[in-house]
Structure 1
Amino acid sequence: MVDYYPPWGFYYKVEFSISQNKNDVRFQSVSGLSVEYDSEEFKEGGENRFTHKLPVRTKYADLVLKRGMLTDSAVIDWFLNAFRDRTFTASDINIILMNEQGEPLRTWSVFHAIPKKWLVSDLNANDNAVVIETLELIYRYFTIK
């Protein structure tokens, strides 16, 4: 009998529908894959022990991607078009967690993502560090396969 071991969190890739560049799938970290319900309180007349809390709509966190800065990237061109030219084109994104053989274990499909924030790490002559760019996106929802 083989025991189950949870998958490692470091073997993944991020695929954008707007890019075929092989370097655009590599990210140092991915965060923001979370969903929760907003709730609304409803007070029932005559019932003073509690209030009803009803789910209203789902709320998705912003997706944050970090990687070493690239000088040739379709994803960065997409970000710059949004910030420089105010051209907002949505992209679908697949975040694929892989097993030891490089096969997909789980895929988070993010729909209708658009750029929200782009940040480049500080440049400091006293540090010996890679320049990190942070890409923050808003999106409608994600599904899990």
Structure 2
Amino acid sequence: MTDNEQLAGIYPPSAFYFKVKFGDCNETVDTSFQEVSGISSEIEVESVIEGGENRFVHQLPKGVKHPNLEMKRGIASLTSPLVKWCKTVMEMDFIESIESKAIRVFLMNENKEVIRGWLFDSAYPVKWEIESFGSTKNEVAIEKIVFSYTFSKRIV
């Protein structure tokens, strides 16, 4: 943490003000979400036992793995570009090739300035779920969209 971050009051940053961008950085449609989760990386390891050495087991790195990226929001209309993309992937029986897009998630401060950011490359929807309805609840109808992606990196 730098002195500037401490003085600006952005450490630790709050997690409730964020924005999401799909594809081209100039796209601003369909970027409001209630929740984003799955921003994580983990090194997969392989256990190797050394012959004659019984005190420990070597843990050798195999590669980096990422969980799926999950986003929740109120159910959008059929005219939503994100809904159209999900429908194309989920309902077209792979007649057309799946179009992947970059997804960027930005954490914002109170002045609408980006303070952290992550890029998820070559992402596409792999699950599109509508959360349960309940006649005794007074809640917004929520859709959850889960994305697979090739790799992620912190960009800010």
Determine if the TM-score, normalized by the shorter chain, exceeds 0.5. yes
| Superposed CA offset, 1:89-116 (max 9, x none) | 1010000111111111111011011111
Partner of 2:152: 142
Look up the SS of the partner of 2:84 in the other structure.
Answer: helix
| Alignment check: 8 A CA contact 1:12 1:95 kept | yes
- Relative to total residues, which structure has the larger strand share, 1 or 2? 1
Percent same amino acid among aligned pairs?
Answer: 35
Partner of 1:40: 46
Q: Aligned partners of 2:49 and 2:143: how far apart in 1? A: 47
Paired residues, number: 144
| Alignment check: 8 A CA contact 2:35 2:72 kept | yes
Question: Could you list the runs of 5+ residues in structure 1 that have no partner in the other structure?
Answer: none
TM-score, normalised to structure 2, is 0.86
Residue 117 (str. 1) matches residue 127 (str. 2)? yes
Q: Aligned partners of 1:49 and 1:142: how far apart in 2? A: 36
Question: Could you list the runs of 5+ residues in structure 2 that have no partner in the other structure?
Answer: none
Q: What residue identity is the alignment partner of 1:68?
A: G
Q: Aligned partners of 1:94 and 1:47: how far apart in 2? A: 47
CA RMSD of aligned residues (A): 1.8
| Alignment check: 8 A CA contact 1:119 1:133 kept | yes
Q: What residue identity is the alignment partner of 1:30?
A: V
Q: How does 1:25-36 map to 2 (within 5 A)?
A: 25-36=31-42
